[in-house]
Structure formats: structure tokens, C-alpha cells
Structure 1
Amino acid sequence: MPGDDGLLTQDSTRGLTAAEVAERVAAGRTNDVPSRTSRSAWEIVRANVFTRINAIFAVLAVIIFSTGYLLDGLFAGVIVANSVVGIVQELRAKRTLDRLAIVGQVRPRVRRDGTSGELAPEEVVADDVIEIGAGDQVVVDGEVLAADALEVDESLLTGESDPVVKHAGDPIMSGSFVVAGNGAYRATKVGSEAYAAKLAEEAGRFTLVDSELRNGINKILKVITYLLVPAGALSIYNQLSGSQALPAALRGMVAALVPMVPEGLILLTSVAFAVGVIRLGRRQCLVNELPAIEGLARVDVVCADKTGTLTENAMRLSELRRLHEAGETPETVLAALAAADPRPNASLAAIAEGCPAAPDWTPTAVVPFSSARKWSGAAFGEHGDWVLGAPDVLLPAESEERAEAERIGAQGLRVLLLGRAANAVDAPDGPGKVTPVALAVLEQKIRGDARETLDYFAAQGVAVKLISGDNAVSVGGVARALALPGGEAPVDARTLSEDPGKLADQLESTAVFGRATPAQKRAMVAALQAGGHTVAMTGDGVNDVLALKDSDVGVAMGAGSPATRSVAQIVLLDNAFATLPHVVGEGRRVIGNIERVANLFLTKTVYSVLLALIVGVPGLIGLDAMPYPFLPRHVTIVGWFTIGLPAFVLSLAPNNDRARPGFVGRVLRMAVPAGVVIGAASFVSYILVHPGNATTEAAQVQASTTALMTLMALALWVLAVVARPYTWWKAALVATMAVVSALMFVLPWTREIFQLDPSNTGYTLTAVLCAAAGVVLIEIGRWIGNRIGRPGP
């Protein structure tokens, strides 16, 4: 490979031999730290079994089993259920992620025995010779052997966005990527020694960090922890200091503590995310970071690149319009330019296909295309210096040829200028004045699903900003073809203000931009974020990497450059822009459904803490300690039929509700009043029928049954409220839970198992009246909560 730094040695050109590779593998000098998209199977099992909640329930189960009342230990089944469900779903998600990661894996080109071929990153060994070109990611640390105008972006390492020109002998770091030129380097650090190992581990992990939903749940659980300490201590003191026998006191203590813990909330959050990964995986969508599903549902601005996103990545040379004679035919020069570039981009590949008869010209200098320059070029000795690039960059504003190119570009076509350069293309002042010779007109096919996807975002109130490095007029033509608002007035990004505040104002009033450099795309994303927007960036080229990295959600096309895929949170492996609405839908399903089930779990926690406090206060102030109204088996079945089973169904159900901020506030506005009402109503019904501590066991069972009826009825009402608006399956779910709960009080064998006695008609009427009053209060509290949480005008 010739370059500005000379030729490679013969050994370097051939690369390692098979024997040398085997020797390095045997010595362990391999890149054996592959990027992982998920935890190992053992880590998944350990994370789902050895949890704080499982530990609490295990201790309480041991206490109950020690009393001999085995049925009161039914809640221990939660340990098994939580662990099994979590393990199964996460293993399924792991298989999906690992399979998709292999499809979308960066595969470097490595020279061995004189030939080049693609290898998986972990197959690279020390001293391998790796070829690189525009858009390639550097997978291991190394030393440059040869470079043809090689420019490397190291912003992921240093934060400096300006490309660094590399020469032979220069170090090159994994985690950087090539923005222009091509070359080769020798691997010097592989495996855990290379920076790529750390980068891949952080970028590709199955994780729930930085999730607004997850953070909100953690905040709620933190508050609950503070409430559990005094409530739990009071319950223990009250039950153990009374006149009850030790087994009965322990049963009451456990019954008070078990429902305080929202045991299934975190589990169902993880399951909902995992199921989302599996569903999107079936659509060939790789989710590198799970919060991206949630994040895209919250996005209100999508910055879309044109080429490869709204249009097909492949192009066709449709016309070659001659402008001036220059001694050489345009077809010959274009073929020579295409042959001189060993890693042609999509435009040059289309030209090479349209002009296949390459002359036998030897290039003396080559300047590959870069997004910053907007042109490429080559010097061919006596045949002259030639450039191919954007007409509006290479020609003055008053040029007739430039005006002609803009007229053609207004039809949605890509137009490149072929011109003869007055100066050497690789000189500091190159290319100098450019004499226009021909216009190469390329056709870009608009994706068939682009219009439908843009219409979806418009209907959802999500603004779309079309940002491209192409000519603004050409970009406007594509926007008009897609009926994108603002397509009739595209803006040249070179005219935009550099002041972030003014730039933000310009972005609010404009939707279509052309001639945007990588740095400008990044600045646009930052300006939108500063204006309070949640921004998603889609792209496929190396010029999109900086903006993808800085956006709230980066979406890369599977056919795009390895660099874009490595920094994006979501990769559309089948390059289908239409997959984005499905990602938004999954995010909305997760957010909406977890909010629903959080209401159920936290309502249970509130009324459990309240009951523990109310029951414990008499003993604390010197009165007779009152036995806890319920047995552990009672709170277990209430949890099953009013929370556990319905919450699992609701967490996986369809949900198209718009994602809104304020998750914690909305949940607490529903759960706290409802929990207080349920706790108070259950205690009132218990007090009204409780005959006092000096009573028979049968009378105590009847009082507990009355309180349980009230509790069950109100908990089912909260389920009915959370399930709104109703569909047939939601109504069926609520009705099924209500029927099953009622049968528990009717069937003789369930009454015996759960120690229930609803035979006292007066007590049952008391339960009904307390429940009815509770229903009214829950609805009033919900109405007030909605009024408080309603956004202002």
C-alpha cells in the first residue's frame, strides 16, 4: 500500500504466518476480552437469587417454619418465583443480545500470509497487521505501519473532536476511529492491555443504569426503607410483648412485616425490560443499553441523517453532465479516481460501477474524502490533479456551474463536481482554483418506510430535524418528497450561529439542514438538549459519531460504519428506519406498565406500614397489645390475587400511553391515599368486631375474616382503578381475580386452609360497609391527586 509515509516492508505486507499466529495463541497473546452484551449465566443466577428481598423473606420463612405453621410460610414461594422468573427472562434476553451482537460485531480486516480477511475481534493476536479505512474502528492498540492521508478521531479517548493525522510509526489507540484516508497498523497491545477492552465492557453491558424509571423506583424504595425500620420495630415489640403465646406472636410479627416489602416491583421492572429486548431482537434491533428503550419513548426531538437513514445507502450514477473540455474524458478521470481509492465511500463506489474502464494511471498523491473537506482528490502526474466533491464547496457562489448543480440537487439528487485543480491536491493550499469539468448526478432511493415513520413521529408530537452533510437544496428535495415540514426552506448549516443560545433558537424554527459538519451536528444536539429537549440521533456514517455519542439516545444503522455501531445505544441491524416506532412502543409499554404495577405494590406497602403502626401504638402507650389482624397466609393470598398475578400480566401487556415525566409523583399521589384508606378501613372493620384479647380463637378468626374481607375488596378496587381504561382482557383479569378471591371465603376447604370464618352475617355486613366507604374515599383521593398533578395551562 503506497502512502505519504512510504511503502510497507515485505514482512509487514504479508502479515503473520499461520505458524506465527499459532505460536502467539499458545503464548496467550490474543485479544481474548470480547465485548459482552450481557452478564454471564452465573452472574444472572447470582443476581436473581442472592437479593436483599430474598434474604429478608428467607429469614421470615425460617421464623414461621420454626413455629410449625407451615402454611403461613407460603410467602416463601415468592423467593422461588422471583428467582425463577428473573433468571428465565434474563437468560432469554442474554441469548437474544449475544446472537444479535455477533451479527453486528466489528470485524477488522487482518493480513495473514499475504492475504486480507475479516476476523472476529477476539481472533486478533499480537503483531497482527490490521488494515483500516474511513469509518473503521481501531479494535486494539498498535503502531501505524503505513498511512494514506490517514486521519483518526480520538474524541472517545481524549474528548478532542479534531481529527489527528497519523504517520508511519505513530501510536494508534483502540477506541478511536478513522475519519479519512486508509492505512495499516501492527497490533502491539491486545486483550486486557488494550483500551478497547474497557470501552467494550462499559458500552456493551446488559444494564439498567441511568434509567429515569429505575432511578424513580430506587428513590421510592429508599423512602420505604426509612418507613420500614420504625414500623417493623414497633410490630416486633407489640407482638412479642403481648399476652399471646410465642408462636402466635411470631405469626403476627411476620404477617405485619411481609407485605411491607414491595418484593415484585424490581423483578417486574427487569422482566419488562428483558421482554422488550427479546421483542425488539425479533425485529433485528440490537439494544446495547436497556435504558435506551425507555429513553427513546421519552424523546421529543429526532435528529435524522439523510443518507443511509431516510434514503438507501447504495446509489447509482444516473447522469454525467459535461461542462468543459479538459483534455481527458470525464469517464476516464472518474474511473481513475475510483481506482485510486482502496476504500471508496458509497458515492465513489457508484461512480466506479458506472465508469468501470479504469486507465492505467499511477497516482502520485491521494487525498481521500472527509466530511470536513467535502471533497477527495488525486494527482496523476502528467494527467494532472483532479478533485471530486461538493460543487458548493469547490466553486464560488456566483458560478453558473454551481447554480446548475443546485437546480439538479433540488430534485432530491446528489450532485458531485469533477474538476481539475490548479494546485497540487495534497499541498497545504490545495486544491486552489478548480476548473469544472463535469457534474456526476447520483440517484438516492428514498426508503419505502421513511414516510410512514416520519408520519408516526409527527402524530406523536415528536419533532424531526433532518441534518445532513449534503447540499442543503438536495436535502430539501428529499424532505419535500417525504412531506417533512420545513422541507421548502432548507438551511445551509454553514450560515448557522456558533453561539449556543442563538443556535438553539434557529433549531426551534427550522427543520432541514444541509452541509452540516460533524462538529456542527454535535453542537446542534447540545443546543437542543440545552433547550430542554430529549434528543435521539440516527445515522450510519463516521460523520455522525460525535452527535450519536452526545445524544440522549444514539441509533445506528447496521450497515453503517463500525464506529457508529460502537457508540450507539440502539443498532438497527436490518437498516430499517421503520423499526424506531416499535422501539418507542416498547419503551412506552415498559414505562406505562411499570407505573401501573408500581401503584399496586406501593399501595400494599403503605397500608401494611400503616396497619403495623396503628396496631402497635396501644402496646407502646401502655394499653393492652392488640394481635395483628392477619396471619401470614392471609397477606400472602392478598398479594397473589390483588398484586402478584395481575401485576405480572399488566407489566407485559400492550401500552401506548405517552411517556411523561414525573413518574414518582404520580405513583405516590395514587398509592399513598389509597394505601391510607385501605389500612384505615381494614383496621376500623377489625376494631368494630374485635371482641377483645380475652376471647376465644373462633371469635378472633371471625374478626380477622372481617378485616380481610375489607382489605381484599379495597385492594381489588385499586386493581380495577389501575387497570383503567378497560379492554376486554383487563375486565376479564379484574373479574377473575375478584371471583377467585370470593371463592376463598366460600369454599369449605379454602376456609379451613386459610382459617376463615365468614358465617357471622353482621360481621360480613360491617366489612361490606367499611369497604364501600373506602371505595368512595379512594375515588375522592384519586380525583384530588389528578387535579394536583394536572399540568397548568
Structure 2
Amino acid sequence: DGKILESFQLEIDESVLTGESLPVAKEKSDVIFSGTLISKGKGYFLVEKTGMQTRFGQIAQNLASIETDKTPLQKNLSTLGKILSIVAVSAAFLLIPIGLLQKRELSELILLAISAGVSAIPEGLPTVITIALAIGTAKMAKKNAIVRKMSAVETLGAVQIILSDKTGTLTKNKMEVKDFFLQKKDSLNFLLKVCVIGNTASLVQKGESGKFEAVGDKTDSALLIFAKEKIGDLNKITDDGKVIDEFVFDPKTKLITSIWEENDKRYVFVRGAPEKLLELSNLKPVEKQKIQKEYEKRAEKGLRIIAMGYKKISNSEIKDRKNLEKDLEFLGFVGIYDAPRDEAIDAIKSAKEAGIKTVMVTGDNEITALAIAKEVGLIEKDEDVLTGVELDKLTDDELEKIILNTTIFARTKPEDKFRLVKLFKKLGFVVGVTGDGVNDALALKKADVGIAMGETGTDVAKEAADIVLVDDNYSTLIRAVLEGRTIYNNIVKSIIYLLSSNLSEISLILIAAILKLPDPLLPTQILWINLVTDGLPALALASDNKNVSALKEKPRDPKEQILTKGRIIFISIVGFTLAFVLIIIFISLLKTQSEIFSKTAIFNLLIFSHLALAFLVRGKSMFKLNKLLFVTVGITILLQIIITTTPFFQALFKIGF
């Protein structure tokens, strides 16, 4: 980092640090930062800071000190695991004192208690969750969202607030001409000539599509594409003449001047700041005021105005720039801006429907930010915009009171976005942050889900992020939210299924023990039930089809436990009902059939009821096609038939007819 000693039309692209879409003109004594890019001019500067003392270095130091929090799912599963362990172990070892009172052998009771404990604990749950997240990661990768931290897949579905960049995320990060004004109706050809002649950008054809894109200065690129769209072949402008001389951008007058010769006539073409060009024009004061109102009206909509003028000259006038730029004929002006992405409007709408609040945090000015916010549907009418300067004046307590009513933060510094993330998290929200520059790294790491841009993102931003959007598109992020919600819903289905089936098993064994009945299930049978019903069907549920309607629902409360009151009631009703029904059947069979036949029947009935339960927990999508679920159920039924009818397995599992 350092201070400028001499500047010659120096412009620096600081978007990597500030997020501002246009290069910044630098004068003597201005500060410049390591890692930023010189887009125009040259200069000398005095190095004042290096390494970790630079702005980049400070960001790196702060990044290393940030501790990442556990995801909502990790917190929930940690609590669930402790509860299940205590309940399962207590229930299983309750069998030992009950059995001893009935004067049964201790060794037999210990074996039964251990088997029952295994049946009560859903040991397949960690595998199911890992595979569910892995499947979600693969699906998101196909949709241009690369997941770097697997736990972030599910967290994305719980996001309530997304702090989004403007440049490159909601916009194309490419300047375009949105509007233009002509002083006279027949001035268009001359205006287009001023756009093209002295232009430093170049047109490059994109593959075989026939489309062109401009390479070079962003403003010049926008003017070149505009001229190309209006006239088609730019050679029509340049073939009949040549540039005699040109004067580069003057940061004081904010003008660029070129001298053009065509058909033995010489012209001065000038473009730049509208207020300066009007001042130098030969228009009457009344006409100047009228044009000023026109360009100010467009500037209020966030457009950057580039005015054009020209005049004919003689050979003797070429060297004096001041004279060349006097008494110009004002041709008109164009309004350029960083246009919103085509998909941004639909993505913002989808986010609103999903109950997600999108907050724009940009380094750009407040007028541009407000204009883009309106265009993409982020806001419907004018709202207050908080700037970085205003943020600095507010304490955290003061900011907390207005933060939820503010949608746009402009002219922000990297520290501002980091501060906003901390405050939203303090208020109890699950926060997602998009970013591409080094300036975003702190906020990306602090957020519950950090989302970096793949095309324009720096390596620092990608390293700090949990997810990388390959196409830098906000709509990709919203599609990823749907995937995150689907994964959470599938994990919940798997947990409900596992706990309901395990509760029915442990309840069946406990009730039989209390009623002094023979053990309905033997240790080997219990382990087999766990193997076939806790494994494959639970995995199939974890990879269940997505329901698009999930994006119409509000994000879940991060404080809400996986086992809500409604889910506990469902698990209890299903688990205990199944156990009581099987006990009644068992008692009935013992009266008319042999003990081994009764146990065989209960063994098979329990497995088939668990398979039916796998469909029941799917709710409204019970009968929707899930190939993996149908295949796993089919395989389980086939294995169960083989075990029940084959003498070898009959002896192993102590079953028969």
C-alpha cells in the first residue's frame, strides 16, 4: 500500500477491495492498495505498508482469528444423540431387573439387554445423514453450486437472510447503454462515430454464436457494443477516414478528444462529462438547461452519463487542445449502467416466496444501488439507503433497531459487511453471504453459509466460503436453497422412520417382559431387523425426491429441535401402537400355535410393518416414485422369504413353522 507521488491519468480498479464496479481516478496524495489493478494511465507512488500491514494483510489476519460456529443441524443432532443414548440404554437395562424378578438367568438377560439397546439406538443415523448430504452435494454440483463444506448443504435450506453483493451477483458486471438522448433527430450517425473513434476497447466474437463481447475499459466497451447494435458493421464508421491525433482522458475536464479526417475534412470528436461538454458547447443557455434536466433525470436512476460533441476544424488548429474543445456542437448523451442479470428478477421473487430476505450490501454509490434494487424487484418504492459513513456513526444497539427495515447498504467497507453479519446472527437469524473479493472474506467466513463467486471470485474469497457458485448467478443460489431444504426434510423423514421402528422394537420386548411372556424376538433376530430395516430403507428416504413446494414455505426456525411436539407424538403413536398390536397377535398365536411359530410370525410381521412405515413417513408423497425405496423394499422382502423358508437360516435365527 502507499501514497501517490505523481499521477498521469491514473485510474485503478479497486473492486476486489470495495466492490465498486467502475475504476477510481487517482490524484497526487491519494492512497492506493496492494492487489488492486491499474486500468488506465501511469504514476509513481511511495510504498508505506507491505505484507501483513497492508489492507490485504489485515484482512488475512482477521480471517485467521474467526471461529466458525456449529450449523443448526449439528447442534440439533448433538442434543438428539444425547437424549437417545440415555433413553435407549435405560430402557434396555430395565430388562435385567425385570428378568431377575422373574427368576431368569442373568447371562441370558444381559445378552437380551445388549441386543435391545442396539435395536433402540439408530446407529445407522450418522451414515444416513452423511449420505444424504453427499447426494445433495452431487446434485448441487450439477446445478453450478460447488459445495466445499458438506454441512453447509443443509444449512443453506435454513437461511433466513442473504447479504448479497450487487456487482456480478445481481448484475452482469458489464456496463451497458440503457438509454440515449439526441439533441437533433439526425445526430445519431455522428454520435455513434464519437462512441467508436478514439475508443480503447475491442470487439471479440464469442465462438460460432455470432455474438460479440467487448474487451477493455468498461465504459469504452459499453459504447462500442451500443454502436455495434445500432449500425451493425463498425467498418462503415472507420473505413472512410483515419485518426490524425488524440488526447487521452483528462481527469480535470473529464473529457477524451480525437481528431478525425474523412473525405479531406477534419473533425474534433469529444466525449465525457455532460456538465463540462455543455459548458464548452455553442448551445443557448435555455437549451443547456433543458439538456441538463434530461441527463440529471437519468442520473437519478443510477445511470452514468457520457455526453458527445463535435466540430469541424482547419489544419492549423490541431495542436491546441483548449481551442479544439471550444464551441462544440452538442450531439447528445448516453446513459450506461451495470445491467441486472436476466435471472435476477425471478430469483429475488423466488427468495421472497421462500421467506428469505435479500439485503444488498455494495461498495457502489447509493443512487446506483437504489436503481438496481428497484429494477430487480428487491424494493418496490424508494427506501432509505444506509451508507458506510452513516453506519460508522451508529452504535450496534442503534443499528439493531433499524437493521431489519433496511434493504440496501451502499458505499460500504469490508468491515461493514462483517459487522452486519454479526448483528443479524446476534438477532438469531441464519445468515448467508455472497461475495467475490478479498474484502468479502471476513463476512463469508463468519456467516452461517458463505457463498463465493466462481467466475469473478478471488482465491481468498473461495477459500473462506462454504459454497462456490460456478456461474456467479443469484438464481443458482435460490435453486441451491431448495436442495438444502429437500435434504433437511429427507433427514427428518429418516429420523422419524428410524425412531418409530426402533421404539416399536424396544417396546415390544419390554411389554413382553413385563407381561411375563416368552421373548418375542431373539438377539440374532433383533440384529437382523436392525440390519435390513435401519439400513437400506432409511438410506432410500434420505435420497427421496425433492418437493418444489418446499421453496414456497418459510425457512424453519433454527432454534427448533428436530423432534418437535408433533413428531414426538407421531413417533409415539406409531411405535407403541405397532408394539401393542404385535403383542396381542403374539398372545393369540401362543394359545393356538407353537412358541417357535409365534416368534417366526412376529419376526416377519415386524419387518414388513417397518417396510410399510417407510412409505407412511413420506406423508403426501407416500406413493410418488422413489426407485431406490422400491428396490430396497423388494430386496428386503426377498431376503426375508429366503431366511424364513431355508433350513440353514431357520436354524441360525431359530425360526420355523
Q: TM-score, normalised by structure 1?
A: 0.54
Task: Tell me how far apart the structure 2 counterparts of residues 517 and 440 of structure 1 sit (CA, whole Å).
Answer: 30
Once residues 584 and 295 of structure 1 are traced to their aligned partners in structure 2, the CA distance between those partners, rounded to angstroms, is 9
CA shift at 1:530, angstroms?
A: 4.4
| Equivalent residue letter for 2:562 | V
Contact 1:305–1:538 under 8 Å retained in 2? yes
In 1, Cα distance between the equivalents of 2:138 and 2:118?
A: 33
For 1:379, the equivalent position in structure 2 comes to none
| Aligned counterpart, 1:161 | none
Structure-1 residue corresponding to 2:603: 708
Q: Compute the RMSD of aligned alpha carbons.
A: 5.4
Structure 2 Cα separation of the partners of residues 500 and 461 of structure 1: 25
Distance in 2, Cα, partners of 1:722 & 1:471: 52
Task: Find the counterpart in structure 2 of residue 349 from structure 1.
Answer: 217
Question: How far apart, in 1, do the equivalents of 2:98 and 2:525 lie?
Answer: 19
Question: Which of the pair has the greater relative contact order for Cα pairs under 8 Å at 6+ separation?
Answer: 2
- After TM superposition, list the pairs within 5 Å mapping 1:430-469 onto structure 2: 441-469=335-363
Counterpart of 2:613, as a letter, is V
* Equivalent of residue 737 in structure 1, options 625, 633, 656: 633
Q: Deviations over 1:233-289 (max 9, x none)?
A: 454677799888999778645543431231211101011111222222233322232
Matches within 5 A, 1:321-470: 349-351=217-219, 407-411=297-301, 413-414=303-304, 441-470=335-364
Taking the aligned partners of 1:196 and 1:307, their CA distance within structure 2 comes to 24
> Paired residue for 1:173, among 52, 56, 66?
52
Task: Report what 2:154 is aligned to.
Answer: 294
Cα 1:302–1:699 shift into 2, 3 Å: same
Distance 1:174 1:232 in 2: 61
Q: 1:212 aligns with which of 52, 60, 72?
A: 72
**Distance in 1 of aligned mates of 2:2 and 2:415:** 31
Please give the secondary structure, in 2, of the residue aligned with 1:728: coil
Q: Secondary structure at the match of 2:432?
A: strand
2:449 pairs with 1:553: yes
Equivalent residue, structure 1, for 2:568: 668
The aligned counterpart of 1:628 is: 519
Question: Residues 231 and 609 of structure 1 are in contact (CA less than 8 Å); yes or no, is this contact kept in structure 2?
Answer: yes
Per-residue Cα deviation, 1:311-359 (whole angstroms, up to 9, x for no partner): 111225789999xxxxxxx99xx999xxxxxxxxx99931465799998
The range that moved more, 644-653 or 535-544, is 535-544
AA at the equivalent of 1:263: E
Q: Match of 1:149, as an amino acid?
A: V
Matches within 5 A, 1:636-655: 636-639=527-530, 642-655=533-546
SS state of the match for residue 168, structure 2?
coil
**Structure 2 CA distance, aligned partners of 1:735 and 1:263?**
22
Give the corresponding residue for 1:476.
370
Shift in CA distance, 740/276, structure 1 to aligned 2, threshold 3 Å:
closer
Please tell me whether the aligned partners of residues 556 and 565 of structure 1 are also in contact (alpha carbons under 8 angstroms).
yes
Q: Secondary structure at the match of 2:157?
A: helix
The answer as to whether partners of 1:706 and 1:758 remain within 8 angstroms in 2 is no
Distance 1:480 1:169 in 2: 42
Q: Which amino acid aligns with 1:464?
A: T
Measured in 2, the distance between the counterparts of 1:587 and 1:474 equals 33
Aligned match of 2:495 in 568, 577, 598?
Answer: 598
Equivalent of 2:582, from 673, 676, 682?
Answer: 682
Q: Secondary structure at the match of 1:271?
A: helix
CA separation in 2, counterparts of 1:442 and 1:277?
39
Instruction: Pick the aligned partner of 2:379 from 486, 507, 520.
Output: 486
Measure the CA separation in 2 of the matches of 1:260 and 1:737: 21
Equivalent residue number for residue 149 of structure 1: 31
Counterparts of 1:534 and 1:416, CA distance in 2: 43
SS at match of 2:137: helix
2-structure distance, mates of 1:736, 1:714 = 14
Query: CA deviation digits over 1:645-695, x for unaligned, max 9?
Result: 221111112233345232423343432443333334434543455479xxx
Residue pair 2:175, 2:338 contacting (<8 A) in 1 also: yes
CA displacement 1:431-451 (0-9 Å, x = unmatched): xxxxxxx99953323212212
Deviation (angstroms), 1:218: 2.3
Name structure 2 gaps, 5 residues minimum. Answer: 7-12, 19-28, 36-44, 183-193, 201-213, 225-242, 255-271, 276-288, 308-331
Please list, as runs of the form range in 1=range in 2, the aligned pairs for 1:76-225 lying within 5 A after superposition.
Answer: 135=16, 149-151=31-33, 168=47, 170=49, 172-173=51-52, 177=56, 210-225=70-85
Is the Cα–Cα contact under 8 Å of residues 157 and 482 in structure 2 kept in the other structure?
Answer: yes
Q: In 2, distance between residues paired with 1:174 and 1:283? A: 40
CA contact 1:414–1:444 (8 Å) conserved in 2: no
Deviation for aligned residue 1:224: 2.1
1:612 CA displacement: 4.9
Gaps of 5+ in 1: 7-131, 138-146, 154-165, 181-193, 204-208, 323-329, 337-345, 367-375, 377-387, 392-399, 418-437, 619-624, 693-697, 760-793
Q: 1:535 to 1:450 in 2, by over 3 A?
A: same
Residue 566, structure 1, aligned to residue 467, structure 2: no
For residue 82 of structure 2, give the secondary structure of its aligned residue in structure 1. Answer: helix
Cα distance in 2, alignment partners of residues 708 and 251 from structure 1: 18
SS in 2 for 1:493: strand
Contact 1:151 1:179 (8 Å CA) reproduced:
no
Aligned-pair CA distance for 1:503: 4.0
Residues 490, 514 of structure 1: 8 Å contact kept: no
Name which of 390, 394, 400 aligns with 1:498.
394
Aligned-partner SS, 1:665? coil
TM-score (norm 2): 0.63
Cα distance 1:456–1:522, how it changes in 2: closer, same or farther (>3 A)? Answer: same
Contact (CA 8 Å) 1:744, 1:750: kept in 2 or not?
no
Kept after mapping to 2: 8 A contact 1:285/1:573:
yes
**8 Å CA contact 2:385, 2:406 repeated in 1:** no
Distance in 1, Cα, partners of 2:147 & 2:632: 36
Amino acid at match of 1:229: V
* 2:472 partner letter: N
**Alpha-carbon offset, residue 498 of structure 1:** 2.1
Give the superposition deviation at 1:296: 1.8
Q: Match of 1:102? A: none
Measured against aligned partners, the alpha-carbon deviations of 1:732-791 in whole angstroms (never above 9, x if no partner) come to 9579838964994699625873457686xxxxxxxxxxxxxxxxxxxxxxxxxxxxxxxx
Please tell me whether the aligned partners of residues 252 and 630 of structure 1 are also in contact (alpha carbons under 8 angstroms).
no
Q: Partners of 2:54 and 2:463 in 1: how far apart?
A: 9
Distance, in Å, in 2 between the alignment partners of 1:687 and 1:198 is 65
- Aligned partner of residue 217 in structure 2, secondary structure: helix
